[in-house]
Amino acid sequence: MVMILLLNVLVGVASDDHARFLLLYGVFQDALVNISQLFPELRGEMNGEKTYAADIESIRQAHARIDPYIHETPVLTSQTLDLLSGKSLFFKSECFQKGGAFKFRGACNAVFSLDDDCVGRGVLTHSSGNHAAALALAAKLRGIPAYIVIPNNAPKCKVENVVRHGGQVIWTEPSMEARELTAKRIQEETGAVLVHPYNDPFIISGQGTISLELLDQVPNIDTIIAPISGGGLISGVALAAKAINPCIQIIAAEPAGADDVAQSKASGQIITLSKVNTIADGLRASLGSLTWPVVRDLVDDVITVEDQEIVEAMGMCYEILKVAVEPSGAIGLAAVLSKKFQASPAFGVSQNIGIVLSGGNVDLGILWQSLHQSCSRT
């Protein structure tokens, strides 16, 4: 399979709903929970049946929409890692996605869903991570500006990715308040549409295209393990996979130092942490109002892993799989090799496990120092 840009010409589908949601979300960002209450379909309940912010139909539409722009990423396998885990592992390698992470799928779907009335004003996000670079790249492809509010402690390589893709960087202090205030100011000045990194139906649908591809590439997958942070990735993955085969188990992998999802699942409501402590800079967000219902209902288990397990998994990805993955990207492998997974009810019924290597944007120096410290400790 050649992983080149697919050249099928598909007509972009404009969406009034999306513009409405994004505009509302942009204007009343601080009051998101209230906004979603206006839309029963986004709250997870309608006519007595559970519905979510995305479904197999919206995910298939997303796939048709983004197909000309994304890479169909390869699935890697390794007998060494199969032996280590006792399972057949299939690594869906989103580190090879454009922009270096799965985030391009959702960003591309969001940007190409904007209708002609609002698209010219551009898009906006406040993010230190892969979503920012992905949004910049998607905006460049559509020929519109992307305003990226970035905290001044963001990893160098991620900022470089934003700049490389033509994003307009606006620096801010790292606190969430400062980020939101700056974003609000830029939005008022430009009229750009805010695209949230995960709490957005079009983002969730875009990320769900991973399951469509993976289950096409390896039809006998019985379990999918994906990292969880705000829940956009796993929501899309779960909605698509369970629609195709309801028996597929969905496992979230989460850093022990930012285990709000494990706590949320245990308590039955969204828990946010006042402080997180993990090397996985991509996994420090909290669940959103649109992702929580999916995570609550469709994620079968949450496996928490220590930072050292993440670092060891990064080393294995590098040395055995020969791929560069960032800490968030390696956490799925860390989870499948963990004792917690062996103790999970999911373990016994898992044989062919899809693992989402979610991204590869890591400063080599950080990888080396992390591994070095990890070796010194052991």
* Residue 103 annotated to the active site: yes
CB 213 within 8 A of CB 74: no
Near its own copies by CB under 8 A, which window of 110-118, 174-182, 271-279, 318-326? Answer: 318-326
DSSP letter string, 50-83: ---S--HHHHHHHHHHHTTTS--PPEE--HHHHH
- Residue 168 corresponds to which tokens in the numbers above? 């307009």
Regarding 220 and contact with its own copies (CB under 8 A), the answer is no
Length of the chain: 378
CB 237 within 8 A of CB 347: no
CA 210 – CA 118 distance, rounded (Å): 28
Q: How far is CA 29 from the centre of its chain?
A: 20
Regarding 6 and contact with its own copies (CB under 8 A), the answer is no
> Whose Cβ is closer to its own copies: residue 240's or residue 367's?
367
CA 120 – CA 114 distance, rounded (Å): 9
Regarding 206 and contact with its own copies (CB under 8 A), the answer is no
Which residues between 70 and 129 bind its own copies (CB under 8 A)? 71, 74-77, 79-80, 90, 95-96, 98, 100
**Cβ contacts of 332 within 8 Å, gap of 6 or more:** 225, 226, 227, 253, 355, 356, 357, 358
> Whose Cβ is closer to its own copies: residue 80's or residue 269's?
80
Q: Which residues of 213-232 are buried (b: 16+ CB within 10 A; e: fewer)?
A: bbbebbeebbbbbbbbbbbb
Regarding 166 and contact with its own copies (CB under 8 A), the answer is no
> Whose Cβ is closer to its own copies: residue 98's or residue 184's?
98
Regarding 169 and contact with its own copies (CB under 8 A), the answer is no
Regarding 9 and contact with its own copies (CB under 8 A), the answer is no
Torsion 47-50-54-60 (CA) sign: negative
* Residue 128 annotated to the active site: yes
Cross-strand partners of 255:
305
Provide the minimum distance between the beta carbon of 359 and its own copies in the complex, in angstroms, as a whole number: 9
Which residues between 278 and 317 bind its own copies (CB under 8 A)? 315
Q: Which residue has the tokens 């197909």?
A: 67
Binding-residue total with its own copies (CB under 8 A): 35
Provide the minimum distance between the beta carbon of 59 and its own copies in the complex, in angstroms, as a whole number: 21
Provide the minimum distance between the beta carbon of 362 and its own copies in the complex, in angstroms, as a whole number: 9
Catalytic residue, candidates 87, 92, 98, 103: 103
Q: What SS3 class is residue 336?
A: helix
Regarding 343 and contact with its own copies (CB under 8 A), the answer is no
Cross-strand partners of 92:
75, 356
Regarding 319 and contact with its own copies (CB under 8 A), the answer is yes
Regarding 330 and contact with its own copies (CB under 8 A), the answer is no
Give the DSSP H or E segment for 224.
Answer: strand 223-227
Provide the minimum distance between the beta carbon of 277 and its own copies in the complex, in angstroms, as a whole number: 25
| Amino acid code (one letter) for 255 | P
The one among 323, 337, 346, 353 contacting its own copies by CB under 8 A: 323
Q: What SS3 class is residue 165?
A: coil
Regarding 377 and contact with its own copies (CB under 8 A), the answer is no
> Whose Cβ is closer to its own copies: residue 27's or residue 371's?
371
Regarding 194 and contact with its own copies (CB under 8 A), the answer is no
Catalytic residue, candidates 58, 85, 88, 128: 128
Lay out the sheet containing 193-194: strands in order across: 168-172, 146-151, 123-126, 193-194
Provide the minimum distance between the beta carbon of 140 and its own copies in the complex, in angstroms, as a whole number: 11
The one among 178, 218, 243, 244 contacting its own copies by CB under 8 A: 218
By CB under 8 A, name the binding residues for its own copies: 1-5, 71, 74-77, 79-80, 90, 95-96, 98, 100, 157, 164, 217-218, 315, 318-319, 321-325, 360, 364-365, 367-368, 371
Catalytic residues: 103, 128
